[in-house]
Structures are given as structure tokens and as C-alpha cells.
């Protein structure tokens, strides 16, 4: 069982909650946990972090230097592929989801994060909440698919993050 981090967790932490320059201990903590595979992210999360508009920012650089860790977990196992298919089937048949919401959900790492969590009985960590409107939320799909999820603050507490341990 692992904690599966969604892209928005990295962005929230880097930009607001734990900026690199102010809280380097948090980023060391993540590095250690990725190395030990207690926390993971899908290869699709990794790609979202290192490609596109922000590909040259500090977060992208940090991610690139950890490509060989569980930050870049392949999605090619049969268990993940089967979970992905199950999630696609649910989303396609959920009448409240509009076609454009489905397309956006499929085009990002979201579906893969949930698939990894479902495949290994893990917990998805996301900044999205079920109360948000307008798109398909990772948290909502997790709930419907029986995948545990939590926010970044719950994750921090559950992992017993103590900055003094990472100085």
C-alpha cells in the first residue's frame, strides 16, 4: 500500500504551502519517501510536472532529478490497466459527467492516479475536494470506485512529517 500523489499536491506545496526556499525539509521528506516507495506518483503525473509551460521552473527541475524514483511509477502493469478500464467504464456511464468533462479527465493524469491507488489498495492524495463543481474530481471518482483518498494536510499528519527529521 502506497500513497499516490496527484499533480495538484506538488503544485500546491511548491507555490503555497511548502515553497522550496522556505521549507526545504518538506521536499527532502518527499525525496526520502519516494526513494523508499512509501509515496508514489504515476508516470503521467511526472510528465505533467516536467512538460509544458512550467517545464523550466524549480518544481520541474526537482522532479526531473527524481525520475528514477517512485515519482515516475510506470502504469503498464495489468492491475493498473484493469483498474484504469474500470474507471473509464464508470466515468463513461455516469450521466452527470458531460462529454467535455470526460475528455478533460482522460487527458490528464487524474484517471491514472486513481487507477494506481485502486490497483494496489493505496491512498490517493489530492488537493481536490468533492464539493468543487465544474469538472470530474479525483476525490469523487475515488469515492465512487472505493479508493481511499485524503488531502495534503491529512497526508502530512498521517506520515508524521516533522521538519526536524529532515534538516
Cell 518527499 found at: 30
> Model-level pTM greater than 0.85?
yes
| Per-residue pLDDT in tens (0 to 9) along the chain, 167 residues | 899 999 999 999 999 999 999 999 999 999 999 999 999 999 999 999 999 777 679 999 999 999 999 999 999 999 999 999 999 999 999 988 889 999 999 999 999 999 999 999 999 999 987 665 668 999 999 999 999 999 999 999 999 999 999 99
152 alpha carbon, distance to own chain's centre? 10
Which CATH number does the domain 3-166 belong to among 1.10.275.10, 3.30.70.60, 3.40.50.1010, 3.40.50.10540? 3.40.50.1010
Q: Provide the residue ranges of all domains of the chain, joining segments of one domain with +.
A: 3-166
Amino acid at each position: 500500500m502506497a500513497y499516490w500523489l496527484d499533480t495538484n499536491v506538488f503544485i500546491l506545496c511548491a507555490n503555497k504551502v511548502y515553497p522550496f526556499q522556505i521549507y526545504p525539509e518538506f521536499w527532502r521528506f518527499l525525496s526520502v519517501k519516494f526513494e523508499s516507495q512509501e509515496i508514489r506518483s504515476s508516470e503521467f503525473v511526472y510528465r505533467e510536472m516536467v512538460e509544458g509551460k512550467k517545464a523550466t521552473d524549480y518544481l520541474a527541475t526537482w522532479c526531473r532529478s527524481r525520475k528514477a524514483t517512485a515519482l515516475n511509477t510506470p502504469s503498464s502493469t495489468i492491475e493498473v490497466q484493469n483498474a484504469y478500464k474500470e474507471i473509464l467504464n464508470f466515468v463513461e456511464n455516469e450521466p452527470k459527467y458531460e462529454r467535455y468533462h470526460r475528455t478533460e479527465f482522460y487527458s490528464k493524469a487524474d484517471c491514472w492516479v486513481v487507477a494506481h491507488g485502486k490497483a494496489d489498495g493505496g491512498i490517493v492524495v489530492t488537493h481536490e475536494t468533492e464539493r468543487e463543481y465544474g469538472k470530474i474530481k479525483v476525490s469523487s471518482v475515488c469515492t465512487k470506485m472505493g479508493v481511499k483518498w485524503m488531502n495534503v494536510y491529512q497526508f502530512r499528519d498521517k506520515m508524521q512529517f516533522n521538519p526536524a527529521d529532515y534538516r
